[in-house]
Structure formats: C-alpha cells, structure tokens
Amino acid sequence: MQTNPTHTSLVALGDSFTEGMSDLLPDGSYRGWADLLAARMAARAPGFRYANLAVRGKLIGQIVEEQVPVATAMGADVITLVGGLNDTLRPKCDMGRVKDLLTEAVERLTPACRELVLMRSPGRQGPVLERFRPRMEELFVHVEELAQRHGALVVDLYGAPSLGDPRMWDIDRLHLTAEGHRRVAEAVWQSLGHDPEDTEWHTPMAATLPPGWAARRVADARFARQYLLPWIGRRLTGRSSGDGLPPKRPDLLPYEGQA
C-alpha cells in the first residue's frame, strides 16, 4: 500500500450510513464520515472532487441499479461501497440474492477506479440487532471474499470495540453519532495508506456508570415510540425513509468542506 497517497477524487455509494445520519449540522443537513474523509483528502490535493450518491434506506438492489452506473461513469480515484445491511434487517431477506447483487456491484466498480473500498459495517451492542446478527456476519464474510478476489480494501468497523459502544450511536440506535462518524473517517483514512491522525480510533471510550433502571425504561419507551414503531410501519407497507430523496451530492465536483 502506498504511504500518504494523493487521490484526486472520491465517490461514495450506499445508504444512510454513507449519507451521514445522524451527524447533524446546524443547518439541518448531515455531514458524516464520507464528508470528513473528503475534506481530509481535499486538503492534500488541490481541485479534489467528491460525489456522494448515498440515500437513506436504499437496499443493495437499488444501489446497484441507481448508484453503480453513475459511479462507474465518473472515473474516480477512490470509490467506497457500503450496502446490503438494510436488506439483512428485512424479515424476508434472500441472502443469496443480496450477495449476488453485491458481487455484481464490485465487479462493475473495480475496473472503474484506482481503489475500491468495502467495509464490514459497525454493529451496536444490544438486543435489538441480535436476531439479525447472523445475516450481518454472513454478509461481512462475503465482503471479505469479494475484496480478496478483486483486490479491494476492507475497513473492519465491525471488529472495532469502540464502535460497538451504545454511546457511539444516536437515540434511534441505527445511526452513529458525530464521534462515531469521525472514527469511521479515521479508519478509512488509515486504510487508504495515510498517516494516522488518531491512533486510538478503535479503542473503547472510558467506562462510565450506566444509566439507572428508570432512565433506561424511559429511553426504551422513547426509542420505541419515535423510531422502532415507525420503522416497523415502513417495513410492513414497503416504504423507505429515502423514498423520493435525491442523492446527497450527485455530481463529482470540487470539494472544500470542513474536516
């Protein structure tokens, strides 16, 4: 791997994780790890260009149909692809089809860039996702196999103790906080061959006293009312939180965002 390489462009594909939820900015938009990474890369390469095609809620089939053709035509130095996790959370998930679609995406994207970056997505500790964990881990094994077969990079966020900490996750329990996104950006930055800015990104946060029983019950009730029930409702009706939303940053344009 080249040390401190210079990349002139980045295209990010995926769902809410790559869109940047829940790293909320004052204007109501989302920043997220991909924006943070692009800002760092832009600081090293004048004229650096960045596109983010991610849309919350997208399934791997939608990513392949809507985002992959756009990305392959852009000719970027680096492409990041994170997808399939939303599929694993669906009650009727065909893992064979998910893996086939992910394979198709990697086969089409690999020749279209200098460096393809895949990820083992972070997983929050707690009971909500436990029933889906076997599917997630099956997906991540396939990601590793694809990376070996096609020479892609894999950023192992799933194996990072820090990102399993519930304190790294927003109150919806599905999206990382700003600190979580910062650590993901650092992980990808290092995987691309850059000198670390934070050598401890994977290290767990210092232990604190857990909230009491009453506080946990209040938080659980709020989570169920504001996030879990609406999420179940969308699953039952076939709707997505990203329906009708455009890509975050659809064009590969010069980027001067803040790290």
Q: Which pLDDT value is given to residue 128?
A: 60
Does the structure show a pLDDT above 60 at 87?
Answer: yes
Q: Which pLDDT value is given to residue 124?
A: 77
169 or 107, which is more confident: 107
Q: Which pLDDT value is given to residue 233?
A: 56
Does the structure show a pLDDT above 70 at 238?
Answer: no
Does the structure show a pLDDT above 50 at 71?
Answer: yes
Domains annotated on the chain, with CATH: 9-254 (3.40.50.1110)
- β-partners of residue 115 are 78
pLDDT tens digits, 156-213 = 999 999 998 888 988 776 889 999 999 999 999 999 999 999 999 998 876 655 666 5
Best CA proximity match to 82, nearest among 58, 66, 65 = 58
- Confidence tier at 242 by pLDDT (50, 70, 90): low
Out of 39-43, 46-50, 221-225, least confident range? 221-225
Q: Which pLDDT value is given to residue 227?
A: 46
Q: What are phi and psi of 103, to 5 degrees?
A: -60, -45
Residue range 30-44: mean pLDDT, rounded? 96
- Provide the pairing of β-strand 78-81 with 249-254: unpaired
**Contact indicator for 172, 22 with CB cutoff of 8 Å:** yes
Does the structure show a pLDDT above 80 at 101?
Answer: yes
Q: Which pLDDT value is given to residue 235?
A: 56
Distances in Å between the alpha carbon of 20 and those of 4, 58, 95? 25, 14, 26
Residue range 205-233: mean pLDDT, rounded? 56
Q: Helix axis angle, 95-109 relative to 133-150, nearest 10°?
A: 30
DSSP 8-state symbol, 86: H
Residue range 95-112: mean pLDDT, rounded? 98
DSSP3 helix / strand / coil % (the chain, rounded to 5)? 45, 15, 40
- Confidence tier at 81 by pLDDT (50, 70, 90): very high
Q: Which pLDDT value is given to residue 236?
A: 54
